[in-house]
Amino acid sequence: MHRFVPFSLNLRGRLVEFSRPQIMGILNVTPDSFYSVSRKYDADSIARHARKLLDQGADMIDIGGYSSRPGADEVSEEEELSRLEMGIRTIREKVSKDIILSIDTFRANVARRAVAEFGADIVNDISGGDMDSGMMPAVAELGVPYVMMHMRGTPATMQSMTDYNDVTADVMSELASKLSLANDLGINDIIVDPGFGFAKDLPQNYQLMKNLDLLHTLGRPILVGISRKSMIYKALGCQPEEALTGTTALNTIALLQGASILRVHDAKEASDTLKIVTQTLNS
């Protein structure tokens, strides 16, 4: 067990302190994300879903315009930008000017425009800079927090790249190497994400979750994104639509190991889980 460690982020020149784990709600402005409920493709449905996430306990929202599931269609940079612009502007204009918005992209130019023009606060990069060498310099230039996820290859090739000596040690080593590079570039606020489901097979995902508390040696807040993923529904022999109970169980395990942010489709259940875990640990 590892207690939550408070952390802070510089969000557009404002230092924000976080005294408890945060709930990051998922909103996909895509037609093909693996969990259909998260797909919202017009302004009205985006606004409704964002309000629902916030009403049910989300502290921030992560917006994606490019599905990273294996086999997903390629999306041009122009199309990704168009989707993210609609999502961000809709939330800022119709829902909240102040809610923290993260954008899920691996493209440096998309990150630049989403932050500088559309109003995103955080860059969430599934490739940790591997899929666009300009990403880390762009984040350094923008001065925004960076979610650095561990992955090998691309979403199309990652499941052929699961050869680890020790998955936890290797993930930590690869993240540490990237942290060093990011620090040299002047990126100050970095959140690490071990990348559950990305270039890990089923046993490796659970080994990584079992040892999640070891990632605290990296000295960074930890984001855990396991919501309705295949590591749950394959283990249970069900579909993503039936994987909420398994998601809640894993989110509980993550919180008991000091997770800083839970990235979820189901904000109410995650928020309730957080309340119960906090009540227990503080008793």
Catalytic annotation, residues: 229, 263
Question: In degrees rounded to 5, what are phi and psi of residue 233?
Answer: -70, -25
DSSP the chain: ------EEEEETTEEEEESS-EEEEEEE-SS--SSGGGB--SHHHHHHHHHHHHHTT-SEEEEESS--STTPPP--HHHHHHHHHHHHHHHHHHT-SSSEEEEE---HHHHHHIIIII---EEEETTTTSS-TTHHHHHHHHT--EEEE---S-TTTGGG----SSHHHHHHHHHHHHHHHHHHHT---EEEE--TTSS--HHHHHHHHHTGGGGGGG-S-BEE--TT-HHHHHHHTS-GGG-HHHHHHHHHHHHHTT-SEEEES-HHHHHHHHHHHHHHHT-
From the list 263, 163, 257, 180, the residue with the least C-alpha distance to 218 is 180
Amino acid at 26: I
Amino acid at 188: N
